[in-house]
């Protein structure tokens, strides 16, 4: 952990508000190459961000408007106390990799895509760890923009937590009877563009749904509206780190219903070359 005093100031063009580090971050944090992700406090305000190199060993930490407001910046320059360490949520030097035992699918991928339906009623049969790990691994196998891999999965199995999630959102009542919920989250410190962050999380969500169906597990996708009370509850209840945003909640359990299949091919929605 590095502790130092610095000034918050603007660049010559007035576009960036930043803090210049009084040390070479690459040497201090022993990062040989790539982006340096950091976390800590500026005065009493927590932050997670990445450093920008200015060359010759000089690095700056850019402050967005939300962080400036949290710090209470009203003028420039302003002297602040900074604590800084590598972001423990993102440590490219020590990825956690382990071999997991996975289950074999019961359905080929084309059939799974065509026959998957949302399941909102579940039996009491538990999902074994091998099956659950296979589903989570499918989510991690989804493509991400520029291969940044910003997705995290928060698995909720405790019945009181599932009940609280279901009671706080009328569209998520099925969570009360689900074996578990998977909250798909995106780390905006890794992927700063909201459009890409959401796309990455949605791709992971779809992989989870298809894999679950292919293994005979029922699932339904519950969206999380921006600035909703449900989103705020999830962040607070499960102590999500700063800049980690919940994007979707997926209920999982063995199906206690069999929704009617329907043909979804619609030539009117297929367009070639132009509309």
- Tokens (6 digits) for 231: 């989103």
Q: What is the pTM of this model?
A: 0.86
With vertex at residue 25, the alpha carbon angle to CA 20 and CA 29, rounded to the nearest 5 degrees, is 145
Distance from C-alpha of 23 to C-alpha of 173, rounded to nearest angstrom = 52
Give the list of residues 6+ apart from residue 175 with CB closer than 8 angstroms, or none.
162, 163, 165, 166, 181, 222, 249, 251
* Phi, psi (deg, nearest 5) at residue 161: -70, -40
Q: What is the pLDDT of residue 95?
A: 57
pLDDT of the chain along its 275 residues, tens only?
899 999 999 887 778 999 999 999 999 998 888 889 999 999 999 999 999 999 999 999 999 998 999 999 888 889 999 999 999 887 654 456 667 888 888 889 999 999 999 999 999 999 999 999 999 999 999 999 999 999 999 999 999 999 999 999 999 999 999 999 999 999 999 998 999 999 999 999 999 999 999 999 999 999 999 999 999 999 999 999 999 999 999 999 999 999 998 899 999 999 999 99
Distance from C-alpha of 15 to C-alpha of 13, rounded to nearest angstrom = 6
């Amino acid at each position: 952990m590095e502790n130092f005093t610095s000034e918050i100031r603007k660049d010559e063009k007035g576009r960036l508000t930043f803090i210049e580090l009084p040390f070479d971050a690459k040497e201090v944090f022993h990062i040989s190459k790539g982006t340096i992700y950091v976390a800590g406090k500026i005065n009493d305000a927590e932050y997670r961000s990445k450093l920008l190199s200015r060359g010759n060993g000089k690095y700056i930490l850019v402050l967005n408007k939300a962080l400036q407001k949290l710090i209470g910046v009203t003028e420039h320059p302003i002297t602040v106390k900074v604590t800084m360490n590598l972001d423990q949520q993102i440590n490219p030097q020590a990825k956690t990799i382990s071999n997991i035992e996975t289950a074999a699918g019961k359905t080929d991928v084309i059939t799974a895509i065509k026959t998957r339906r949302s399941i909102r009623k579940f039996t009491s049969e538990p999902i074994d760890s091998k099956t659950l790990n296979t589903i989570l691994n499918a989510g991690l196998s989804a493509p991400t923009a520029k291969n940044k891999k910003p997705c995290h999965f928060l698995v909720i199995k405790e019945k009181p937590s599932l009940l609280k999630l279901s009671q706080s959102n009328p569209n998520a009542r099925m969570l009360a009877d689900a074996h578990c919920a998977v909250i798909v989250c995106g780390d905006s410190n890794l992927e700063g563009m909201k459009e890409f962050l959401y796309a990455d999380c949605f791709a992971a969500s779809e992989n989870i749904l298809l894999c679950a169906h292919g293994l005979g597990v029922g699932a339904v996708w519950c969206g999380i509206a921006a600035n909703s009370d449900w989103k705020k509850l999830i962040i607070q209840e499960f102590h999500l780190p700063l800049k980690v945003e919940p994007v979707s909640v997926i209920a999982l359990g063995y199906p206690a219903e069999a929704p009617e299949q329907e043909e979804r091919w619609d030539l009117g929605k297929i367009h070639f070359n132009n509309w």
